[in-house]
Amino acid sequence: QVHLAEFGGDSVQAGGSLRLACAAHGNAVVISYNWFCMGWFRQSPGKGREAVAAIGGDDSTDYAESAKGRFTISKDKREKKLYLQMNNLAPEDSGLYYCAADGCSDHSSARLEADSYSYWGQGTLVNVSS
């Protein structure tokens, strides 16, 4: 099994920045499977879970339209951490941000589909005030 833990959620004013982090822990064999395909998802009140950004086994990235140009996803393979740098935040970015992961090959591209991921964290809360 793999356990994911998110960090970095906070309350900020519109226009501000936050950096979310996700740490992976668990079975060493699973973690060593060429690292992971990973993604960030967000759930807001009254909305379903929506994709924000993803990074593939080939290090390709993909973003939701709302995140393009403002958010950057990255991963540290050595530290086994995933990051999401969020700039120019707006109130509509508020929500519970989840980290997701699944084993994949080094040829796998970024995946924004939630059903591509087997492992999920508990979420970290981001609140952006106007």
Phi, psi angle pair for 69, to nearest 5° = 85, -15
The 10s digit of each residue's pLDDT in 72-119 is 999 987 778 899 999 999 999 999 999 999 888 888 999 999 999 999
Widest distance between CA atoms in the chain: 45
Question: In the structure, what pLDDT confidence band is assigned to residue 30 with cuts at 50, 70 and 90?
Answer: low
Interatomic CA distance for residues 27 and 118, integer angstroms: 14
pLDDT (0 to 100) of residue 29: 47
